[in-house]
Amino acid sequence: MNDLAAKDCVPCKSDVPPLGIADVLPLLDQLGEGWEVVDNHHLARMYSFKNFADALAFVNRVGEMAETQGHHPDLSLAWGKVGVEIWTHKIDGLHESDFIFAAKCNQLYPAR
């Protein structure tokens, strides 16, 4: 199991600075293929599916997990694909919890 996925997201305080690139890159490496850091501000990944129903089912699983973690991504759903963008709004940047959430999304993605 991925070490990040084993953790829980923690609420961030507004006085915590966003992670710098030196802290972001090792966390990104732990996520594996598909995730990218955009403008050192947020994480993004596109997941592929064989049809709309499978993509929708993934969105629902991510939504349920988001509620339990208290951390909510931006999701986009289209036929055969789901886009996920994550950042911590309170600090307008990246926090370890964003990487934890991304790792948990990877666990919810059906094996190819």
**pLDDT digit string, tens, across residues 17-69:** 999 999 999 999 999 899 999 999 999 999 999 999 999 999 999 999 999 99
- pTM of the predicted protein model: 0.92
Task: Give the model's confidence band at 77: pLDDT under 50 very low, under 70 low, under 90 confident, else very high.
Answer: very high
The answer to whether residue 112 scores a pLDDT higher than 60 is no
More confident position, 80 or 111: 80
Reference 43, options 12, 74, 67; nearest CA is 74
Task: Give the model's confidence band at 88: pLDDT under 50 very low, under 70 low, under 90 confident, else very high.
Answer: very high
Cα-based distances in Å from 54 to 3, 13, 66, 82, 111:
27, 36, 18, 10, 12
- pLDDT confidence of residue 15: 82
The answer to whether residue 8 scores a pLDDT higher than 70 is yes
- pLDDT confidence of residue 2: 65
**Percent of the chain scored above 70 by pLDDT?**
96
User: What CATH number matches the domain at 22-108, 3.30.1360.20, 3.30.200.20, 3.90.1520.10, 3.30.1360.70?
Assistant: 3.30.1360.20
